[in-house]
């Protein structure tokens, strides 16, 4: 570098300027190249780790007993925008109330007898139920039954990137229940209180019961479904029919016995959790053999396809950041060989 240029760059820097030529000049990338790779987390390892956490991590040590599906290429999180966690609450434990900018979902894996209190409504949860706690909703959990485990999905990595995190511990520690049992279920469907103005961005906190999911699956199971994902059910915003949360779309995917999907790629990153069944997924140049309890991630723009190698249906719980890509016009999708 010439002395003149070097002196010029120092002069620029002293005034908080930077020449574009000072950035690394390389080949322009013609398509997205994610900085994180696909990864699988075995359920066996996850549940063993959580059993140990149950012994050594009390709620005095950690506000929530949570283990993250950490993508090692990232400082934190499962993708750049989303994180999938496992949470455990033991009998008699209370997870204290708080609210934060990050939106969250729960998919209940095991146990019964815990209630989630969300925005003053107490929700009894059971296996396969799916519950949203949208951005800035109060939530606490109380276990009056047996040990419970659920998946927590959050858009916390996105919030970290945006640095928008307001976060408020609840001075009451536990919420007072102010709404009758089943309040939201009864008032956000086809019948709605006319005087209430609903938030047009954040959905109401909502519980989607497994019995309803199972019934819906049984009604659509004979249809062709989607060539890339099989039978897909959206957990829709109950008021608008839009995505689950503004930042994440959650779905149930069912691959029928021996079903093989076609290969595609898209600019949304997707996290899969195997709720039922066993099979194989091909993601980029990797092959993931999965069974119940396993989770894996498909980074944006990586080819992927799924193969249900068993005769029984396979069911995935799925979350992706597609709504975010849609909102900013960044969603693209193509079939691949
Ligand atoms: C959170 O609020 C919960 O409420 C679990 O159960 C995990 C991880 C990061 C930030 C907030 C919960 C969380 C979290």
Closest residue by Cα to residue 84 from 126, 123, 139, 46: 46
- What is the per-residue pLDDT for 26? 79
Using H for helix, E for strand and C for coil, what is the string for 93-138? CEEEEEEECCCEEEEEEECCCEEEEECCEEEECCCCCEEEECCCCC
The architecture (CATH level 2) of 39-189+202-335 comes to: Sandwich (2.60)
As a whole number, mean pLDDT of residues 42-50 equals: 98
pLDDT digits (tens, 9 = 90+) for 105-120: 999 999 999 999 999 9
Domain definitions of the chain by residue range: 39-189+202-335
pLDDT band at 27 (very low <50, low <70, confident <90, very high): confident
Pocket test for ligand 1, best of 86, 103, 154, 164 (most atoms within 8 A of CB): 154
CA 55–ligand 1 middle distance (angstroms): 20
Q: How much is the pLDDT for 337?
A: 87
Q: Report pLDDT for 309.
A: 98
* Ligand 1 and 139: CB distance under 6 A: yes
Query: pLDDT per residue over 124-165, tens digit each?
Result: 999 999 999 999 999 999 999 999 999 999 999 999 999 999
| pLDDT at res. 121 | 97
**pLDDT of amino acid 1:** 81
Mean pLDDT of 199-223: 96
pLDDT of residue 127: 98
pLDDT of 287-335, one tens digit each?
999 999 999 999 999 999 999 999 999 999 999 999 999 999 999 999 9
154 lines ligand 1 (CB under 6 A): yes
pLDDT mean across residues, the chain: 97
**66 in ligand 1 pocket by Cβ < 6 Å?**
yes
Would you say the CB of residue 87 lies under 6 angstroms from ligand 1? yes
pLDDT in tens, 222-276: 999 999 999 999 999 999 999 999 999 999 999 999 999 999 999 999 999 999 9
Question: How many Å apart are CA 126 and CA 113, to the nearest integer?
Answer: 8
Query: DSSP assignment of 194-231, as one string?
Result: TTPPPPSSSPPP-EE-HHHHHHHHHHHTTS--BTTTBE
Model pLDDT, residue 316: 98
C-beta 85 within 6 A of ligand 1: yes
Number of Cβ within 10 Å of residue 112's Cβ equals 14
Q: What pLDDT is recorded for position 136?
A: 97
Give the pLDDT band (50/70/90) at residue 40. Answer: very high
């Amino acid at each position: 570098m010439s002395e003149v240029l070097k002196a010029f760059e120092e002069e620029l820097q002293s005034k908080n300027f930077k020449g574009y030529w000072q950035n690394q000049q390389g080949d322009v990338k013609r398509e997205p190249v994610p900085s994180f790779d696909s990864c699988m987390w075995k359920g066996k390892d996850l549940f063993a780790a959580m059993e140990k956490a149950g012994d050594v991590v009390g709620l005095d040590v950690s506000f929530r007993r949570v283990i993250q599906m950490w993508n090692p290429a990232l400082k934190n999180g499962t993708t750049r925008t989303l994180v999938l966690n496992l949470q455990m609450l033991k009998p008699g434990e209370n997870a204290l109330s708080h609210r934060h900018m990050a939106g969250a979902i729960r998919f209940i894996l095991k146990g019964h007898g815990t209630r989630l209190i969300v925005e003053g409504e107490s929700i009894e949860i059971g296996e396969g139920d799916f519950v949203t706690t949208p951005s800035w909703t109060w939530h606490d959990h109380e276990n009056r039954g047996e040990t419970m485990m659920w998946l927590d999905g959050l858009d916390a990595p996105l919030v970290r990137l945006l640095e928008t995190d307001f976060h408020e511990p609840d001075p009451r520690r536990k919420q007072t229940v102010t709404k009758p049992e089943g309040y939201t279920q009864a008032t956000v469907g086809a019948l709605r209180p006319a005087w209430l103005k609903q938030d047009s961005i954040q959905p109401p906190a909502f519980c989607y019961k497994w019995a309803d999911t199972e019934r819906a699956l049984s009604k659509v199971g004979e249809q062709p479904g989607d060539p890339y994902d099989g039978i897909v059910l959206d957990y829709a915003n109950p008021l608008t029919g839009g995505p689950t949360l503004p930042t994440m779309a959650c779905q149930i995917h069912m691959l029928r016995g021996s079903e093989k999907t076609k290969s595609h790629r898209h600019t949304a990153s997707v996290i899969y959790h195997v709720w039922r069944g066993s099979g194989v997924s091909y993601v980029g140049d990797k092959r993931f053999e999965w069974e119940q309890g396993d989770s894996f991630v498909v980074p944006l723009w990586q080819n992927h396809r799924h193969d249900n190698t068993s005769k029984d249906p396979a069911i995935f719980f799925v979350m992706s950041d597609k709504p975010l890509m849609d909102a900013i016009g960044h969603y693209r999708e193509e079939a691949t060989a």
